[in-house]
Structure 1
Amino acid sequence: MATNKPTGAQLVISTLKALGVDVLFGYPGGAIMPIYDALAGSGLRHILVRHEQGAAFAADSYARATGRVGVCMATSGPGATNLITGIANAYMDSIPMVCITGQVGTHLLGTDGFQEVDFLGLTLPIVKHSWLVRDASQIPAIIAKAFAIAKEGRPGPVLVDIPKDVAASFVDSSDMGELSAYVPPAPNAEAIDAARALIEQAKKPLLYIGGGVHMADADQEMRDFVERTGIPLVATLKGLGTVPTTHDLALGMLGMHGTRAGNIAVQETDLLIAVGARFDDRATGKLSAFAPHAKVIHFDIDHAEIHKNRRADVGIIGDLKLALPALQPKMPDISEWVKFNKANKWQHRFKYDAPGKGIYAPALLKYMSEVAADKFIVACDVGQHQMWVAQHCEFAQNKAHITSGGSGAMGYGLPAGVGAKLALPDHHVVTVSGDGSFMMNIQEMATLRRYGINLKIVLLDNSSLGLVRQWQELFYEENYSEIDLSDNPDFVEVAKAFGLSAFRITQRHEVEGAVDRLLAADAPTLLHVLIDPRENVWPLVPPGASNAEMMEERWDEPIDSY
């Protein structure tokens, strides 16, 4: 029967449009079919991924690249559960995302109906907020609130689970309601004064920059603070690029695979200024030995982070865009401290003249980032290659480095590249992956082909689970258990079967020409790079050790051609 009344599903789509959504990622199915029916012809750009996990990862990456809320959709049951890894990834890295899932009809809830799962209950620990919608007229207000919650304070994912009959029902009237604009709390003036006093008394201050700075849109304020104070800095995996990694005062990443100069600075500092960082185990190593001589100033938007892992002498909760400009210390003479760190940075700089004729992955990655320059965006998977990217690529901006941090989710790189390239089509977006990670979401090459997404892929292939193999070599007496991937398919032929361009290199002299060819390609292209399976990531802080106890690189044997 014809009616002018909208359905709940139509309200989903109209609300997304009203909130400024222009692209979303998903995969249809039975319970979410009314919403996909309303999606057709709506003007919204929907990207049909080939696995729901790819939808969540792509939406996550799109949010990181744009600063907006990423949106993904899936049906009930296995469709929804396939989103869970991506939702957990966004939660761990504080990424704003709204996940819309279909659910079985309300009359089937609790009956173990076909493709029924309590998705609200399953995701409670990994979302900021969630709804099971029972009244279609509330859909606009709920979705608008979901977007607001995803962005405000410490960002994160929000779930809206919509039963099929609710989506299909007609609505007499509804609206989004009035949402008061979120205003981040202003920093406490007394805390700012206390922080200022500590800085003015310090002889060896050090900035410890985390991903929260970029999430607060305070990159420029952070850069201004560095220029104003001249304080050296280290960064977390997610903090890289907030201040350009080539900056004179930047000592690189700290922690398990951080730079020696950065970790030495942390161990020597008398005042650690943590900005949007959470003192996680990969950064701190043995927590009781982390920055042992330092007082701590801790900036964060999340009250729960202050004193959680490390007691702060001064905790400053509030908007970094206000807090950093408000902190105007009269800087003491720290010239000897700066000189000390610059000398360490030079002395312990990475070297790229590895012996042998085989391809040295760190040198390839460094060259690629230099050539792509300010237009370089990497969507990185998880493994040895992830650490090499963090150590050796140059990042002019934080959004240039998109990777799974807290979750460490293999399979992130390819769908993340989809999201990042759609967000930043004029940039050199490159997925860097390993052969283990790449196989986990390899199906998304079909998404690249379907939509003509000109993503470039660098696949570093050592025919093994490299990071696990490295730990087994160093800490498990070379008991190599279930890390052999020598039966990988021919990745060049696989890529070509998906309709991508692809080529392979095996020798060091091929690197520059191959990278240039890859970046110049006008279609999605895979560069398959064979590397020595014995190559490890150095330096490395052993498990249970302090960051001062770094194991160093060994080049005892040549890296030969493959």
Structure 2
Amino acid sequence: MLLTGAEILIKSLIDEGVETIFGYPGGAVLNIYDELYKYKDKINHILTCHEQAAAHAADGYSRATGKVGVCIATSGPGATNLVTGIATAYMDSIPIVAITGNVPKSLLGKDSFQEVDISGITMPITKHNYIVKNVEDLQRIIKDAFYIAQEGRPGPVLIDIPKDITANKGVYKSLITRERCKDKNILNEEAIAEVIQYINDSKRPFIYAGGGIVSSEATDELITFAEKINAPVSTSLMCTSAFPFDHSLYTGMIGMHGTKASNVAATKCDLLITLGARFSDRVISNQNHIKNAKIIHIDIDPAEINKNVKVDSYIVGDLKDVLNRLIPVIDEKKNKEWLDFIDSIKEKKTFKEDDCNELTPELLFNKLNNLNDGNFIITTEVGQHQMWAAQYFNCRNRRSFLSSGGLGTMGYGLGAAIGAQIGSPNKRVFNIAGDGSFGMNCNELATVVKNKLPIVTIILNNNSLGMVRQWQMLFYDGRYSETTLNRETDYVKLAEAFGARGFRVIEKSELDYVLNQAISSKEPVLIDYVINCDKKVFPMVAPGAPINQIISEEDINNN
């Protein structure tokens, strides 16, 4: 069948099961958008206000559903506006396919209008990228792109298509979908035997679980594995929601803003079992901090082994496969003394509303926890509010906490919320924002309203760039350089201007009513939740310090 490149593209996307695309049209992709118009009964296109939000929406869609997210932009600035979203997906190993238009082949390399070498620009932040030079290659490239985005360690793939390729005609035919082999894990038997021996010999095992657990859909296996060896479990930010928050073995988040139990356990264990995590500098990056433990690292990406921390034993492979291989053959353990010690340092969550005289993050998330019936998805921007959400919100279902971990992208949350809500229409999506981050993407409220998405955005409004201000207080003697915003923005009026409902909460007595109104509403809602600018995120570990050297709020109050 002879079709234009644009037709081949759209049909190929349908073949890959794509139902939604997030994007923004322009001259170089007009042929593609003309075909999208013809196929609008099969592919839902969400027009964002800015291409960066299209990339974040594709990312959020993928994180919430486990599918590949797809975004599209025109050449030049349209393509470069995708870059931050692509980098965000790359750092967090999220499978998206980004499609960009470009000038016709004859104009490439001539500084033509709206021409940019997007393939060169994105080479360091994609698993792979393509410039389509022949329409006959387009169908194969699309199929390969979806395969590469998902196989092994997931990540973004970019396809750059010159405009004449979308107009030229080529043969469209049935192609066999390549099965994801996960490298068919020719698992190293010696490595497996060695890991088993380390686990069986350990008296104080401790699990540090990362985003690989989510990517490999290995939550059930992680629970079974942890219960069999009775090992406490900590999670990275990327693994939040992948282990039950109320499980007796769960110690909470690990790292700079991790719990005391997680951070101390990492330094007291005799075996650190790292699953699908990369030893980020915000978690554990100094070998000396965990020098008393043997370290096992299981990851699908061989490049991560011994990159940041030298390990004693490792297995390269898909976590679901590896854990299913280990569970039947490892010894069952009790570890009573070790678990008793962990329980003794766990900080019990005991929040009493009557003890709270002002609006605080704890109060907000306690209310949300009480209202959550297991149907909530949380997206976050980046900053103090992000850490408070990770610390205080009790995720009751998998893939329910979406946050920019590796890149720390302010402006991520609202775009991601759009993607999550489109991908999970029966869930209630909350975007947790700070007033600083919200200013970077508030225009996407127009997208939310236009598409009648019942997203609730909650701005923890402290009139400052809170996380940077916190560092300035702790490490720069309180020199608050450009972190006090002093903006006169009325977020309630702003929400109403976009067509959303707006509420402001400045008193405790208002909160229940506002949250109930927001949750019962079928339309977009924004809540301006006003908090003190001096509220800090604790516990905290100073950059470069051992993770068990924990700064608490009491430490600050006592200098």
Per the shorter chain, which TM-score range? over 0.9
Q: What's the C-alpha RMSD, in Å, of the aligned pairs?
A: 1.7
- 2:276 maps to 276
Residue number in structure 2 paired with 1:297: 296
Equivalent in 8, 16, 19 of residue 19 of structure 1 = 16
Identify unmatched segments of 5+ residues in structure 2. Answer: none
Alpha-carbon deviation of 1:178? 3.6
Q: Contact conserved, 2:2 with 2:172, CA < 8 A, in 1?
A: no
* CA distances 1:227-262 after superposition (whole Å, capped 9, x unpaired): 222211111001112111121110000100001111
Cα drift, residue 306 of structure 1: 1.1
Q: 1:224 to 1:148 in 2, by over 3 A?
A: same
Give the Cα–Cα distance (whole angstroms) in 2 for the partners of residues 154 and 340 of structure 1.
36
Q: Is contact 1:354-1:360 (8 Å) kept?
A: no
Identity between Structure 1 and Structure 2 (%)? 43
1:135 paired residue number: 134
CA–CA distance in 1 between the matches of 2:346 and 2:512? Answer: 26
1:482 paired with 2:482, answer: yes
| Structure 1 residues 318 and 361, CA gap change in structure 2 (3 angstroms) | same
Does 1:170 pair with 2:140? no
Tell me which stretches of 4 or more aligned residues in structure 1 moved more than 4 Å: 348-356
What is the CA distance between 1:104 and its match in structure 2? 0.5
TM-score w.r.t. structure 1 length? 0.95
Q: Residues 142, 223 of structure 1: CA spacing in aligned structure 2 closer, same or farther, 3 A cutoff? A: same
The match for 1:560 is none
Give the AA of the match of 2:458: V
In structure 2, the CA distance between the partners of 1:371 and 1:356, relative to structure 1 (3 Å rule), is closer
Tell me what 1:517 maps to.
Answer: 517
- Structure-2 residue corresponding to 1:89: 88
- Post-superposition offset of 1:548: 1.3
User: Amino acid of the residue matched to residue 531 of structure 2?
Assistant: I
Deviation at 1:169, TM superposition (A): 1.3
For residues 527 and 353 of structure 1, the distance between their equivalents in structure 2, rounded to whole angstroms, comes to 20
- CA 1:242 to 1:556, structure 2 compared with 1: closer, same or farther past 3 Å? closer
- Structure 2 CA distance, aligned partners of 1:81 and 1:502? 33
Kindly indicate whether the alpha-carbon contact (under 8 Å) linking 2:351 and 2:362 is maintained by their aligned counterparts in 1.
no
State the shift of 1:182 in Å: 2.1
Task: String of CA shifts for 1:378-402, please: whole Å, max 9, x gaps.
Answer: 0111000000000011012341100
**CA 1:176–1:403 in 2, change beyond 3 Å: closer, same or farther?**
farther
Q: Within 1, Cα distance between the matches of 2:431 and 2:181?
A: 36
Deviates more, 1:548-557 or 1:111-120: 548-557
Give the match for residue 337 of structure 1: 338
Aligned to 1:6: 3
| Cα distance in 2 for residues equivalent to 1:74 and 1:323 | 39
Q: Any idea what SS the aligned residue of 1:410 has?
A: coil
Report if the CA contact (8 A) 2:212-2:299 is conserved.
Answer: yes
The amino acid of 2:421's aligned partner reads K
Paired with 1:49 and 1:131, the residues of 2 have a C-alpha distance of 24
Moved more, 504-513 or 207-216: 504-513
Aligned residue for 1:258? Answer: 258
Name the amino acid aligned to 1:28.
Answer: P
**SS in structure 2 opposite 1:25?**
strand
- Listed as ranges, the matches of 1:497-512 within 5 Å are 497-512=497-512
TM-score when scaled to structure 2?
A: 0.96
Cα distance in 2 for partners of 1:124, 1:228 equals 43
Structure 1: gaps spanning 5 or more residues = 558-562
- CA distance in 2 between counterparts of 1:140 and 1:80 reads 21
| Alignment length (residue pairs) | 551
CA 1:230–1:356: 2 relative to 1, 3 Å: closer
Distance 1:31 1:198, change over 3 A: same
**Residue pair 1:207, 1:275 contacting (<8 A) in 2 also:** yes
Question: Partner of 1:282: helix, strand, or coil?
Answer: coil
**Please, which of 35, 39, 42 is the counterpart of residue 38 of structure 1?**
35
388-397 vs 369-378, which deviates more? 369-378
Indicate if the aligned counterparts of 1:372 and 1:428 stay in contact, CA closer than 8 A: no
Distance in 2 (CA, whole Å) between partners of 1:255 and 1:13 is: 44
**Which region of structure 1 is more displaced relative to structure 2, 61-70 or 393-402?**
393-402
Amino acid at match of 1:340: F
**3-state SS of 1:422 partner:** helix
SS at 1:31's partner residue?
helix
Taking a change above 3 Å as real, the CA distance of residues 556 and 481 of structure 1, as seen in their structure-2 partners, is: closer
Q: Which amino acid aligns with 1:420?
A: A
Q: Deviations over 1:363-387 (max 9, x none)?
A: 2113203311311210111000000
Cα distance change, pair 128–353 in 1 and its aligned pair in 2 (3 A): same
